[in-house]
């Protein structure tokens, strides 16, 4: 079943991780009416050993060394890759 780690929501943005020895999933929900910047460095406990995050719905790839912007009222499900 794996483990879960979650963070206290900030400005309407909630981030949690589901992970086990084989897979790491990052879920980010922006419930705010405006876009928010995502800085992977805020979540180094789970992201520090990964270089890429792949959106499992759109297949869009993000680098964990760079910031990204999540649009208003959206949820991302990202698979972390080395």
Q: What is the pLDDT of residues 26-53, one digit of tens each?
A: 999 999 999 999 999 999 999 999 999 9
Structure tokens at 72: 């208003």
Range of the domain at 63: 3-81
The CATH number covering residue 21 comes to 2.60.40.1180
Digit-coded pLDDT (tens) for 53-69: 999 999 999 999 999 99
The number of distinct structural domains making up the chain is 1
CA 16, CA 82: separation in Å to the nearest integer?
Answer: 19
Closest CA to 36 of 14, 58, 5: 14
What are the CB-based long-range contacts (under 8 Å, 24+) for 52-55?
Answer: 52/80, 52/81, 52/82, 53/26, 53/78, 53/79, 53/80, 53/81, 54/78, 54/79, 54/81
């Amino acid at each position: 079943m794996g483990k879960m780690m979650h963070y206290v929501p900030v400005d309407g943005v909630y981030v949690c991780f589901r992970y086990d020895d084989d897979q790491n999933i990052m879920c980010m929900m922006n419930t705010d009416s405006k876009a928010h910047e995502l800085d992977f460095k805020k979540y180094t406990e789970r992201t520090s050993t990964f270089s890429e995050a792949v959106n499992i719905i759109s297949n869009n790839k993000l680098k964990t060394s760079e910031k990204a912007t999540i649009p208003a009222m959206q949820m991302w499900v990202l698979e972390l890759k080395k």
